[in-house]
Amino acid sequence: MDTVSPCIFPCALASLLGRPDAPLLLDVRRRERFAASGRLLPGARWCAPEEVAALAASELPASVVYCAYGHEASQDVTRAPCAAGWSARLLRGGIGGGEQGVDPQADLHAWRAAPLPRMRKRADPGVAGGAPSPWITRARPKIDRLACPWLLRHFLAPRALFCYVPGHQVITQAAALQPVPFDIEGVPISHAWERSSFDTLLAEFGRDAPGLDTLATSVRGADTDRLAIAPQAAGLLAISLGLSRRHADDDHDHDHAMLAAAMPLYDARYAWCRNGRGESHRWSAHAMPKAAP
């Protein structure tokens, strides 16, 4: 007897995006449909439907599986990860938010009222849902060279690999090894006038997830010495410089140690940007005492 695949609704998945424990998004649209589409869900990994069983048997972690509309393609392949013992859920409505004339109108309205953020597929910087993408930048990161890897790992390319080298070696090593250079003058993913490399990444991939614009402003302020544009910029700068000093004596892999330490910092910053800005903290120790009755 066939079983129904466990499901997740778009609103529930939206709350998980960008978190360090976010599930893998597995795009299982058929090859021709995926190739014809210009977008995918943030950080999704594409796998041809006929190859999912092999992937599930080897490495597939907890995942959300989606196709174009959430019908037979993703329903069929979701069974393979479940049979292999992995936690896999089907995204209701798929990336398209359901199919007109097939899905109930109430479902279409619910799925499309608050659509999931999608990103542009970009083959030129190696982020198109396929193999892991290598990136390269200057050593001794401070702000942008930590913020950009966080953005890539959580929203654009979860399997991205990062290489930090002396500044004068970035372009030559990029030409030889073919990683994507970033945050260095003269390359596409870098500062654009007053905008930071973090801003450029967001623009290049069309990312619009809630809270990222707020985080981008504080990154921009800290990285371009314009602390007045965001109240949090000064704190981000201070913590980033502190991290740099904290790891200054690392004899081996200073930059990756600093990146590892910075990831939880940006996780927390993004959580606040997304849904923590309305909360305040008050200390009432010096409040006026109540008058005696």
pTM of the model: 0.83
- Alpha-carbon gap, residue 174 to 138, rounded angstroms: 11
- Alpha-carbon gap, residue 257 to 249, rounded angstroms: 11
Q: How far is CA 88 from CA 98, 258, 282, in A?
A: 19, 33, 43
Note whether 46 and 34 are within 8 A (CB).
Answer: yes
Q: Single out the residue of 153, 141, 133 nearest to residue 244, CA to CA.
A: 141
Residue whose entry in the numeric block shows the structure tokens 């990062």: 162
Note whether 250 and 257 are within 8 A (CB).
Answer: yes
Note whether 207 and 119 are within 8 A (CB).
Answer: yes
Tell the burial category of 175 from Cβ atoms under 10 Å away from its Cβ (0-12, 13-18, 19+): exposed
Any idea what the Cα angle at residue 232 is, between residues 144 and 142, rounded to 5°?
Answer: 25
Q: Which class is domain 7-120?
A: alpha beta
Domain segments of the chain as ranges: 7-120, 134-275
Note whether 223 and 143 are within 8 A (CB).
Answer: yes
Any idea what the Cα angle at residue 144 is, between residues 142 and 150, rounded to 5°?
Answer: 105
Tell the burial category of 252 from Cβ atoms under 10 Å away from its Cβ (0-12, 13-18, 19+): exposed
Note whether 159 and 133 are within 8 A (CB).
Answer: yes
Any idea what the Cα angle at residue 24 is, between residues 72 and 265, rounded to 5°?
Answer: 155
- Other C-beta atoms closer than 10 Å to the C-beta of 255 total 21
Amino acid in the structure at residue 243: L
- pLDDT tens by residue, the chain, 293 residues: 344 568 899 999 988 988 888 888 999 999 999 989 888 898 888 888 888 878 777 766 668 989 889 886 677 777 766 666 677 889 999 999 999 999 999 999 999 888 888 888 876 665 666 677 899 999 999 999 999 999 999 988 888 899 999 999 999 988 887 889 999 999 989 998 889 999 999 988 877 678 899 999 999 999 999 999 999 999 999 999 999 998 877 655 889 999 999 999 999 999 999 888 888 888 777 666 666 66
For residue 154, give the DSSP letter. Answer: I
Q: Which residues of 38-76 are buried (b: 16+ CB within 10 A; e: fewer)?
A: eebbbbbbbbebeebbebbeeebeebbbbbbbbbebbbb
Note whether 241 and 248 are within 8 A (CB).
Answer: no
**pLDDT on residue 1:** 31
